[in-house]
Each structure stands twice: as C-alpha cells, then as structure tokens.
C-alpha cells in the first residue's frame, strides 16, 4: 500500500500532512497518480462517503489557492491541466467501450444496483 496523501487533525489547529510520494526522486509519478486518482474518483464508490471526501479534497485545493502568490495563474494552470486530463479520460473510456467492455460511472452517493457487485 502506498500513501498518496494523509491528512490528520491532532488538535484544533494541529493538522498534519504526509505522503509516501517523493517527487524530487520521481517527478514522473504525477501523471501516473493523476490517471489512477481520476479513475478512482469516477468509478469507485467509497462506501457512501463520496460527498464528504470530495468536499475535503476541494477544501485542500482552496486552502492551497488562498496561499498562492499568483492565484490567477495557478487557477489557469489547473484549468488547462484538468481539461487535458478530462479529455484523456474521456478518450480512454471511449476506447474501452469500443473494445466491447462497458464502464458505468455513478455520481457521488449513488450506489449501483446489486447487478454491479
């Protein structure tokens, strides 16, 4: 198991972050993790806790943006990168479906019927 990101609150103001990822030693891990996280966020159901998990991820992004020295540039870059990732993911699903497989994406808090288990 690899820890992509751990966020723990030990007290009212003591929040700590940890990861097993070492970017200086392996900068090419970013696209690999992005692809895996995108797939997980679009297809895996997290036990009905999706709305809370997504809210916390977005809060982390907002906190990061609030500390940025150039928030507009960072938002623009995130927009470009997320658009590329979205297009790549869309094409991957299309190719997967063309091969005869079927992917169903469920929105947060929607659990599949028993036939998808």
Domain boundaries, the chain: 28-107
Q: Is 117 a residue whose pLDDT tops 50?
A: no
Assess contact for 54 and 108: CB atoms under 8 A: yes
What pLDDT is attached to residue 45?
58
pTM comes to: 0.72
Tokens of 104: 């169903």
Give residue-wise pLDDT tens across range 80-115.
999 999 999 889 888 888 888 777 666 656 666 655
For residue range 39-59, list pLDDT tens digits in order: 888 776 566 677 888 899 999
- Please provide residue 7's backbone torsions phi and psi, each rounded to the nearest 5 degrees: -130, 120
Mean pLDDT of the chain: 85
């Amino acid at each position: 198991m690899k820890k992509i990101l751990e966020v723990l609150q030990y007290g009212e103001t003591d929040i700590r972050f940890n990861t097993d990822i070492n970017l200086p030693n392996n900068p090419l891990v970013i696209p690999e993790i992005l692809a895996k996280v995108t797939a997980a966020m679009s297809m895996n159901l997290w036990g009905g806790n999706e709305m809370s998990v997504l809210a916390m991820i977005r809060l982390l992004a907002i906190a990061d943006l609030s500390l940025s020295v150039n928030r507009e540039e960072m938002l623009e870059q995130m927009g470009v990168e997320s658009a590329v990732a979205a297009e790549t993911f869309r094409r991957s699903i299309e190719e997967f479906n063309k091969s005869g497989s079927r992917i169903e994406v469920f929105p947060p808090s929607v659990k599949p019927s028993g036939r998808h288990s």
